[in-house]
Structure 1
Amino acid sequence: MNQQAFEFLSSRADFRAIARWVEPRATVLDLGCGDGSLLSLLAEELEVQGYGIEINDAGVLAATKNGVNVIQQNLEDGLRLFEDGSFDFAILSQTLQTIHQTAAILRETVRVGKECIVSFPNFGYWSHRLAVVQGRMPVSKSLPYQWHNTPNVRVLTIKDFEALAPEVGIEILDRVVLHGGQTVRWGVNWRGSLAVYRVKKI
């Protein structure tokens, strides 16, 4: 692994979990791909064939510079460009909490991906709860923005996602809950700051 790939893995704990679930030479759609770091890593390490979708101009430019095939599109408009099961894996990596049409995007994600991976910061993490009790919106490594400039428009916990999944036709296949890059195995809804799920359409 070269230094750039190592830095990708180190900077985002969910990347490690995602990379373990993606199969070599798979086709991958990264929804909200940002600068393309995840797809670049998966292409190098697993020889995946990937496409990213990103709305932000700077993200699109950065992804292109990283050698990622990127389509500039607003996820809120859906994924009509793609047929059912177009990709082996569709990924929502810390994108879900930034979307208004949450249920619709989840349905679209499991429609276009034979399997899907979803990660998000857990607003139920104990220090986030404490910040709210103290009268402030939480700011942490997994939620690094102030309330007035955050891209996050949804507040969800691990239990919230697991309750929503069957309502939108999603079967949960596996789950990893993390904090500080380490796996959390008990008390996950208050001890884990980041959740990663492998799912598919029911």
Structure 2
Amino acid sequence: MNLNQLSKHERERFDFAVIADWIPAGERVLDLGCGDGNLLRYLRETRKISGYGVEIAPDKVLACIRNGIDVIQMNIDQGLSSFEDQSFDHAIISQALQTMLETERILNEMLRVAREAVVSFPNFAYRINREAIVRGHVPVSEDLPYEWYDTPNVRFFTIADFEALCSRLDIEIRERRAFDDNGQPVIDDPNLNGSLAFYRLGRA
């Protein structure tokens, strides 16, 4: 399977399936930066979960409503004060952490409102991205699909960077999965060979 040859919908399903492996049936889930709500709908159909999406963009909020997803319109960077401690089993932020300004606050808040957090993001240190930088260009790929002048991303970080931040915040990495462009699991040097990274996080 070559991820670069998959449609957007097929790539989404790949990402969703990886995340779903960590979500037991019947859980309460909070999806941050939920977009059109497709992940929550997938989890509802495959894991019978309940929960909420959080999204700031009005058009995506409407898309969630059309998807039958309970959604709250709010700015995640300002915190999750609307939610009580440990009110969810899992809080998820799927390929959206790099678009956020308050990275530390978001990670801490996820583990305040939920027992575990699931985070996925494109790895900026992936070897193909490094090759683009060596050639003098900002990387553009399926996982980093925007040009430098129109990207919503405000953080460009790597697997090594993320793990260092988790250590500093006393966040326990309970499981990590990395995949290359072919959708194959990466074991050897994921910071170099992994295009997408997925983490299951908790408090020690």
Place the TM-score, normalised by the shorter chain, in its bin.
over 0.9
CA distance in structure 2 between the partners assigned to 1:8 and 1:89 by the alignment: 25
Shift in alpha-carbon separation, 1:79–1:151, aligned structure 2, 3 A? same
Please report how far the alpha carbon of residue 11 of structure 1 lies from its aligned counterpart in structure 2 after TM superposition. Answer: 2.2
Aligned position for 1:4:
none
- 1:25 offset after TM fit, Å? 0.5
Between the aligned partners of 2:15 and 2:196, the Cα distance in structure 1 is 8
Q: Does residue 170 of structure 2 align to residue 169 of structure 1?
A: yes
In the TM superposition, residue 166 of structure 1 has moved relative to its aligned partner by: 1.9
Q: Percent identity?
A: 50
Query: Does structure 2 conserve the Cα–Cα contact (< 8 Å) formed by 1:118 and 1:197?
Result: yes
AA matched with 1:157: T
Mark the CA change 1:143 to 1:8 in structure 2 (over 3 Å): closer, same or farther: closer
- Count of paired positions: 196
> Which residue of structure 2 lines up, in the alignment, with residue 190 of structure 1?
192
- Counterpart in 1 of 2:4? none
Q: Which position in structure 1 is the counterpart of 2:130?
A: 129
Q: How does 1:66-145 map to 2 (within 5 A)?
A: 66-145=67-146
Alignment of 1:43-62 (within 5 A): 43-62=44-63
**TM-score computed with the length of structure 2 as normaliser:** 0.93
Counterpart residue type for residue 10 of structure 1: E
| Mapped partners of 1:114, 1:122: distance in 2 | 25
Paired with 1:88 and 1:8, the residues of 2 have a C-alpha distance of 28
CA distance in structure 2 between the partners assigned to 1:8 and 1:155 by the alignment: 22
* Distance change >3 Å, CA 79–CA 101, structure 1 → 2: same
Amino acid at match of 1:200: G
Scaled by the length of structure 1, what TM-score is found?
A: 0.93
Give the AA of the match of 1:183.
P
**C-alpha root-mean-square deviation of aligned residues, in Å?**
1.3
Give the ranges of 4+ consecutive aligned residues of structure 1 lying more than 4 Å apart after TM superposition: none
User: Which amino acid is the alignment partner of residue 80 of structure 2?
Assistant: L
Q: Is the 8 A contact 1:26 1:49 kept in 2?
A: yes
2:161 paired residue number: 160
Structure 2: gaps of 5 or more residues: 1-6
Shift of 1:55: 0.5
